[in-house]
Structure 1
Amino acid sequence: MMNAPEDFDLNGVLYRARKLNAMDQLFLVQKLTPLAASLVPVIQAAAREASNGPLAGALLKMEVGDLMPLAQGIASLPEADTKAILARCLSHVQRGVTSQAGTSWANVWSTSAEAPMFDDLDLFTMLTIVAHVVKKDLAPFFGALFSGSTGAGLLRTATS
Protein backbone atom coordinates (compact mmCIF):
# COMPACT_ATOMS: atom_id res chain seq x y z
CA MET A 1 0.00 0.00 0.00
CA MET A 2 1.40 3.39 -1.01
CA ASN A 3 1.86 6.03 1.68
CA ALA A 4 0.03 9.30 1.20
CA PRO A 5 2.11 12.28 0.06
CA GLU A 6 3.21 14.71 2.77
CA ASP A 7 2.52 18.42 2.36
CA PHE A 8 4.91 21.01 3.81
CA ASP A 9 5.31 24.78 3.68
CA LEU A 10 8.59 26.43 2.79
CA ASN A 11 8.74 30.23 2.83
CA GLY A 12 5.00 30.47 2.23
CA VAL A 13 5.01 28.02 -0.69
CA LEU A 14 3.18 24.69 -0.36
CA TYR A 15 5.02 21.55 -1.48
CA ARG A 16 3.99 17.90 -1.60
CA ALA A 17 6.55 15.11 -1.28
CA ARG A 18 5.61 11.68 -2.59
CA LYS A 19 7.15 8.57 -1.04
CA LEU A 20 10.39 7.35 -2.59
CA ASN A 21 10.39 3.77 -3.83
CA ALA A 22 12.82 1.31 -2.25
CA MET A 23 15.39 1.56 -5.07
CA ASP A 24 15.44 5.37 -4.87
CA GLN A 25 15.86 5.08 -1.10
CA LEU A 26 18.79 2.71 -1.54
CA PHE A 27 20.40 5.04 -4.08
CA LEU A 28 20.13 7.99 -1.69
CA VAL A 29 21.48 6.05 1.28
CA GLN A 30 24.51 5.04 -0.78
CA LYS A 31 25.14 8.60 -1.98
CA LEU A 32 24.37 10.44 1.27
CA THR A 33 26.17 8.24 3.78
CA PRO A 34 29.50 10.06 3.21
CA LEU A 35 27.73 13.34 4.08
CA ALA A 36 26.48 12.16 7.47
CA ALA A 37 29.58 13.31 9.35
CA SER A 38 29.39 16.81 7.84
CA LEU A 39 25.65 17.04 8.38
CA VAL A 40 25.68 16.28 12.12
CA PRO A 41 27.19 19.62 13.30
CA VAL A 42 24.82 21.60 11.07
CA ILE A 43 21.72 19.75 12.29
CA GLN A 44 22.92 20.04 15.91
CA ALA A 45 23.38 23.82 15.55
CA ALA A 46 19.96 24.16 13.91
CA ALA A 47 18.35 22.06 16.66
CA ARG A 48 19.88 24.31 19.35
CA GLU A 49 18.57 27.38 17.52
CA ALA A 50 15.14 25.90 16.83
CA SER A 51 14.46 24.79 20.41
CA ASN A 52 11.02 23.29 19.84
CA GLY A 53 10.39 24.92 16.45
CA PRO A 54 10.93 23.60 12.93
CA LEU A 55 14.48 22.84 11.84
CA ALA A 56 13.88 24.33 8.37
CA GLY A 57 13.29 27.77 9.89
CA ALA A 58 16.44 27.51 11.98
CA LEU A 59 18.48 26.39 8.95
CA LEU A 60 17.31 29.44 7.01
CA LYS A 61 18.58 31.73 9.80
CA MET A 62 22.00 30.10 10.23
CA GLU A 63 25.20 32.03 9.63
CA VAL A 64 27.38 30.98 6.70
CA GLY A 65 30.13 29.80 9.04
CA ASP A 66 27.72 27.40 10.75
CA LEU A 67 26.89 25.85 7.37
CA MET A 68 30.52 25.29 6.37
CA PRO A 69 30.76 21.63 7.48
CA LEU A 70 27.81 20.79 5.25
CA ALA A 71 29.16 22.91 2.39
CA GLN A 72 32.49 21.10 2.63
CA GLY A 73 30.73 17.73 2.64
CA ILE A 74 28.71 18.64 -0.42
CA ALA A 75 31.84 19.95 -2.15
CA SER A 76 33.54 16.59 -1.58
CA LEU A 77 30.85 14.71 -3.54
CA PRO A 78 31.45 14.05 -7.22
CA GLU A 79 29.40 16.44 -9.37
CA ALA A 80 27.45 13.59 -10.96
CA ASP A 81 26.41 12.31 -7.50
CA THR A 82 25.30 15.78 -6.40
CA LYS A 83 23.15 16.24 -9.49
CA ALA A 84 21.72 12.73 -9.14
CA ILE A 85 20.77 13.32 -5.49
CA LEU A 86 19.03 16.60 -6.31
CA ALA A 87 17.21 15.12 -9.30
CA ARG A 88 16.15 11.96 -7.47
CA CYS A 89 14.68 13.89 -4.53
CA LEU A 90 13.16 16.80 -6.45
CA SER A 91 11.47 14.47 -8.94
CA HIS A 92 9.29 13.22 -6.07
CA VAL A 93 8.09 16.71 -5.09
CA GLN A 94 5.28 18.88 -6.41
CA ARG A 95 4.46 22.53 -5.77
CA GLY A 96 0.99 23.74 -4.89
CA VAL A 97 -0.52 26.40 -7.11
CA THR A 98 -3.59 27.89 -5.45
CA SER A 99 -6.47 29.44 -7.36
CA GLN A 100 -10.19 29.99 -6.76
CA ALA A 101 -10.78 26.46 -8.00
CA GLY A 102 -8.48 25.07 -5.30
CA THR A 103 -4.92 23.82 -5.24
CA SER A 104 -3.39 22.13 -8.23
CA TRP A 105 0.00 20.46 -8.16
CA ALA A 106 2.91 20.86 -10.56
CA ASN A 107 6.14 18.88 -10.62
CA VAL A 108 9.12 20.75 -9.17
CA TRP A 109 11.64 18.91 -11.38
CA SER A 110 11.59 18.07 -15.08
CA THR A 111 13.27 14.70 -15.56
CA SER A 112 13.45 15.19 -19.34
CA ALA A 113 15.08 18.65 -19.10
CA GLU A 114 17.01 17.74 -15.92
CA ALA A 115 16.11 21.15 -14.50
CA PRO A 116 13.74 22.78 -12.00
CA MET A 117 10.32 23.71 -13.34
CA PHE A 118 10.19 27.00 -11.41
CA ASP A 119 12.61 29.89 -11.98
CA ASP A 120 12.43 31.02 -8.35
CA LEU A 121 13.84 27.75 -6.98
CA ASP A 122 17.27 28.76 -5.74
CA LEU A 123 19.94 26.39 -4.48
CA PHE A 124 19.11 26.83 -0.80
CA THR A 125 15.40 26.14 -1.45
CA MET A 126 16.25 23.04 -3.46
CA LEU A 127 18.59 21.79 -0.73
CA THR A 128 15.93 22.41 1.92
CA ILE A 129 13.41 20.41 -0.14
CA VAL A 130 15.97 17.62 -0.56
CA ALA A 131 16.58 17.64 3.22
CA HIS A 132 12.83 17.31 3.77
CA VAL A 133 12.61 14.33 1.40
CA VAL A 134 15.63 12.67 3.01
CA LYS A 135 14.22 13.23 6.50
CA LYS A 136 10.80 11.91 5.50
CA ASP A 137 11.91 8.83 3.60
CA LEU A 138 15.24 7.84 5.13
CA ALA A 139 14.58 8.31 8.84
CA PRO A 140 15.06 4.57 9.52
CA PHE A 141 18.55 4.75 8.01
CA PHE A 142 19.54 8.10 9.49
CA GLY A 143 17.39 7.81 12.62
CA ALA A 144 20.07 9.14 14.95
CA LEU A 145 19.99 12.39 13.00
CA PHE A 146 16.33 12.78 12.19
CA SER A 147 14.18 11.23 14.92
CA GLY A 148 11.70 13.51 16.67
CA SER A 149 10.47 17.00 15.78
CA THR A 150 13.66 18.84 16.74
CA GLY A 151 15.79 15.77 17.07
CA ALA A 152 16.70 12.99 19.39
CA GLY A 153 19.61 10.61 19.43
CA LEU A 154 22.63 12.64 18.28
CA LEU A 155 20.61 15.83 18.29
CA ARG A 156 19.22 15.35 21.80
CA THR A 157 22.72 15.34 23.22
CA ALA A 158 23.32 18.71 21.59
CA THR A 159 20.13 20.28 22.95
CA SER A 160 19.89 18.64 26.37
Structure 2
Amino acid sequence: MEQIEIGGQSYTIGRLNAFDQMHVSRKLSPLVPTLVPVIAELAQGGLSKALEAIDDEELDDVEAMLSQFDLKNLNGLSAALKPLTEAWSQMSEDDVDFIMIKCLSVCARNGAKVCVNKTLMFDDLEMSHMLALVLAVVRSNMGNFIQGLLTKASTFQKQSE
Protein backbone atom coordinates (compact mmCIF):
# COMPACT_ATOMS: atom_id res chain seq x y z
CA MET A 1 0.00 0.00 0.00
CA GLU A 2 1.17 3.45 -0.93
CA GLN A 3 1.15 6.39 1.49
CA ILE A 4 0.69 9.92 0.13
CA GLU A 5 0.03 13.33 1.60
CA ILE A 6 -2.63 15.59 0.12
CA GLY A 7 -3.93 18.79 1.65
CA GLY A 8 -2.00 18.23 4.86
CA GLN A 9 -3.58 14.80 5.41
CA SER A 10 -1.94 11.39 5.08
CA TYR A 11 -3.74 8.85 2.89
CA THR A 12 -3.25 5.17 2.22
CA ILE A 13 -3.87 4.05 -1.36
CA GLY A 14 -5.28 0.53 -1.42
CA ARG A 15 -5.81 -2.06 -4.14
CA LEU A 16 -8.74 -2.34 -6.50
CA ASN A 17 -9.76 -5.93 -7.13
CA ALA A 18 -9.20 -7.25 -10.66
CA PHE A 19 -12.82 -6.71 -11.74
CA ASP A 20 -12.83 -3.12 -10.51
CA GLN A 21 -9.48 -2.51 -12.24
CA MET A 22 -10.98 -3.79 -15.48
CA HIS A 23 -14.13 -1.68 -15.21
CA VAL A 24 -12.30 1.50 -14.16
CA SER A 25 -9.79 1.10 -17.01
CA ARG A 26 -12.68 0.46 -19.41
CA LYS A 27 -14.35 3.70 -18.34
CA LEU A 28 -11.03 5.59 -18.63
CA SER A 29 -10.07 4.14 -22.02
CA PRO A 30 -11.63 6.98 -24.11
CA LEU A 31 -9.19 9.37 -22.40
CA VAL A 32 -6.04 7.37 -23.18
CA PRO A 33 -5.51 8.45 -26.82
CA THR A 34 -5.98 12.09 -25.80
CA LEU A 35 -3.18 11.80 -23.20
CA VAL A 36 -0.42 11.11 -25.74
CA PRO A 37 -0.19 14.68 -27.12
CA VAL A 38 -0.41 16.14 -23.60
CA ILE A 39 2.44 13.96 -22.33
CA ALA A 40 4.52 14.79 -25.41
CA GLU A 41 3.99 18.53 -24.90
CA LEU A 42 4.82 18.33 -21.21
CA ALA A 43 8.01 16.40 -21.96
CA GLN A 44 9.15 18.99 -24.53
CA GLY A 45 8.12 22.15 -22.74
CA GLY A 46 10.26 22.04 -19.65
CA LEU A 47 7.26 22.37 -17.37
CA SER A 48 8.43 19.51 -15.17
CA LYS A 49 11.80 21.24 -14.66
CA ALA A 50 10.06 24.47 -13.72
CA LEU A 51 7.75 22.69 -11.27
CA GLU A 52 10.67 20.81 -9.69
CA ALA A 53 12.53 24.09 -9.29
CA ILE A 54 9.47 25.64 -7.62
CA ASP A 55 9.46 22.78 -5.11
CA ASP A 56 13.12 23.53 -4.32
CA GLU A 57 12.73 27.31 -3.99
CA GLU A 58 11.23 29.54 -1.35
CA LEU A 59 7.80 30.86 -2.39
CA ASP A 60 9.13 34.46 -2.44
CA ASP A 61 11.63 33.61 -5.18
CA VAL A 62 9.28 31.69 -7.51
CA GLU A 63 8.74 34.60 -9.91
CA ALA A 64 12.48 35.21 -10.27
CA MET A 65 13.11 31.51 -10.67
CA LEU A 66 10.43 31.13 -13.37
CA SER A 67 12.02 33.93 -15.37
CA GLN A 68 14.96 31.56 -15.92
CA PHE A 69 12.79 29.12 -17.88
CA ASP A 70 11.55 29.53 -21.43
CA LEU A 71 7.92 28.61 -20.99
CA LYS A 72 7.06 29.73 -24.55
CA ASN A 73 7.49 26.10 -25.53
CA LEU A 74 4.27 25.39 -23.62
CA ASN A 75 2.16 27.20 -26.22
CA GLY A 76 1.27 23.83 -27.74
CA LEU A 77 0.02 22.56 -24.40
CA SER A 78 -3.37 24.25 -24.65
CA ALA A 79 -3.90 22.72 -28.10
CA ALA A 80 -2.84 19.32 -26.77
CA LEU A 81 -5.15 19.64 -23.74
CA LYS A 82 -8.23 20.45 -25.83
CA PRO A 83 -9.01 16.85 -26.92
CA LEU A 84 -8.42 15.61 -23.35
CA THR A 85 -10.78 18.15 -21.83
CA GLU A 86 -13.37 17.46 -24.53
CA ALA A 87 -13.17 13.69 -23.91
CA TRP A 88 -13.43 14.30 -20.15
CA SER A 89 -16.45 16.59 -20.53
CA GLN A 90 -18.21 14.07 -22.78
CA MET A 91 -17.97 11.29 -20.21
CA SER A 92 -21.31 10.58 -18.61
CA GLU A 93 -21.86 11.62 -15.01
CA ASP A 94 -22.46 7.95 -14.18
CA ASP A 95 -19.05 6.98 -15.64
CA VAL A 96 -17.25 9.75 -13.76
CA ASP A 97 -19.05 8.86 -10.53
CA PHE A 98 -18.21 5.17 -11.05
CA ILE A 99 -14.49 5.95 -11.45
CA MET A 100 -14.40 8.35 -8.52
CA ILE A 101 -16.36 6.11 -6.14
CA LYS A 102 -14.44 2.92 -6.99
CA CYS A 103 -11.08 4.66 -6.58
CA LEU A 104 -11.97 6.60 -3.42
CA SER A 105 -13.39 3.44 -1.83
CA VAL A 106 -9.87 1.95 -1.63
CA CYS A 107 -8.38 5.07 -0.03
CA ALA A 108 -8.12 5.60 3.71
CA ARG A 109 -7.26 8.56 5.92
CA ASN A 110 -6.07 7.78 9.43
CA GLY A 111 -7.38 4.24 9.00
CA ALA A 112 -10.90 5.33 8.00
CA LYS A 113 -12.23 4.71 4.48
CA VAL A 114 -12.63 7.85 2.40
CA CYS A 115 -15.76 6.60 0.61
CA VAL A 116 -18.30 4.09 1.96
CA ASN A 117 -21.55 3.14 0.19
CA LYS A 118 -21.03 5.91 -2.40
CA THR A 119 -20.72 8.51 0.38
CA LEU A 120 -17.67 10.62 1.22
CA MET A 121 -16.70 10.20 4.86
CA PHE A 122 -14.84 13.51 5.17
CA ASP A 123 -16.55 16.87 4.68
CA ASP A 124 -13.27 18.70 4.19
CA LEU A 125 -12.32 16.85 0.98
CA GLU A 126 -11.99 19.23 -1.93
CA MET A 127 -12.30 18.33 -5.59
CA SER A 128 -8.55 18.72 -6.08
CA HIS A 129 -7.92 16.27 -3.21
CA MET A 130 -10.36 13.75 -4.65
CA LEU A 131 -8.83 13.97 -8.13
CA ALA A 132 -5.33 13.55 -6.70
CA LEU A 133 -6.48 10.45 -4.80
CA VAL A 134 -8.16 8.99 -7.89
CA LEU A 135 -5.01 9.58 -9.97
CA ALA A 136 -2.93 7.91 -7.26
CA VAL A 137 -5.25 4.87 -7.28
CA VAL A 138 -5.15 4.63 -11.08
CA ARG A 139 -1.35 5.00 -11.15
CA SER A 140 -0.86 2.47 -8.36
CA ASN A 141 -3.38 -0.10 -9.59
CA MET A 142 -3.30 0.25 -13.35
CA GLY A 143 -0.07 2.10 -14.14
CA ASN A 144 1.41 -0.69 -16.25
CA PHE A 145 -1.83 -1.21 -18.16
CA ILE A 146 -2.31 2.53 -18.84
CA GLN A 147 1.36 2.87 -19.83
CA GLY A 148 0.88 0.03 -22.34
CA LEU A 149 -2.20 1.73 -23.79
CA LEU A 150 -0.31 5.03 -24.06
CA THR A 151 2.56 3.30 -25.86
CA LYS A 152 0.16 1.67 -28.32
CA ALA A 153 -1.73 4.94 -28.86
CA SER A 154 1.54 6.78 -29.44
CA THR A 155 2.67 4.17 -31.98
CA PHE A 156 -0.70 4.32 -33.75
CA GLN A 157 -0.55 8.14 -33.83
CA LYS A 158 2.93 8.08 -35.40
CA GLN A 159 1.80 5.55 -38.03
CA SER A 160 -1.19 7.66 -39.04
CA GLU A 161 0.87 10.84 -39.53
Q: Sort the TM-score into its range (normalised by shorter chain).
A: 0.5 to 0.7
Answer 1 or 2: which has greater helix percent.
2
Residues 43, 145 of structure 1: 8 Å contact kept:
no
8 A contact 2:15–2:141 mirrored in 1? yes
Query: Cα deviations across residues 17-38 of structure 1 (Å, max 9, x unaligned)?
Result: 1111111111111111101123
Match of 1:93 among 107, 124, 128: 107
The alpha-carbon deviation at position 46 of structure 1 amounts to 5.5
* Superposed CA offset, 1:13-61 (max 9, x none): 211011111111111111111011233444455564233978xx8xxxx
Classify 1:119/1:106 alpha carbon distance in 2 versus 1 (closer, same or farther; 3 Å): same
Give the 5 Å matches for 1:1-160: 5-44=1-40, 48-51=46-49, 69-96=83-110, 105-111=111-117, 114-143=118-147
User: How many percent identity over aligned positions?
Assistant: 33
Tell me, in whole angstroms, the C-alpha distance in 2 between the residues paired with 1:40 and 1:80: 25
Structure with larger Rg: 2
Write 1 or 2 for the structure with the bigger share of strand: 1
Distance of 1:136 and 1:83 partners within structure 2: 19
Check the 8 A contact 1:16/1:94 in 2, yes or no: yes
CA distance in 1, matches of 2:82, 2:123: 26
| Number of residue pairs matched by the alignment | 128
Report the Cα distance in structure 2 between the residues aligned to 1:37 and 1:128, rounded to whole angstroms: 21
Gap change, CA 1:132 and 1:67, over 3 Å in 2: farther
- What are structure 1's unaligned runs of at least 5 residues? 58-62, 97-104, 148-152, 155-160
Distance 1:71 1:115 in 2: 26
Question: 2: distance between equivalents of 1:78 and 1:32?
Answer: 11
Structure possessing the higher relative contact order (Cα contacts under 8 Å, 6 or more residues apart) = 2
Question: Root-mean-square deviation (CA), in Å?
Answer: 3.2
- Per the normalisation by structure 2, the TM-score is 0.65
Kept in 2: contact 1:25–1:138 (CA 8 A): yes
Which one-letter code corresponds to 2:107 in the other structure?
Answer: V
Question: In 2 relative to 1, CA 44–134 (structure 1 residues): closer, same or farther, beyond 3 Å?
Answer: farther
| Contact 2:35/2:150 (<8 A) preserved | no
Alignment TM-score, normalising by the size of structure 1: 0.65
Q: Is the 8 A contact 1:86 1:130 kept in 2?
A: yes
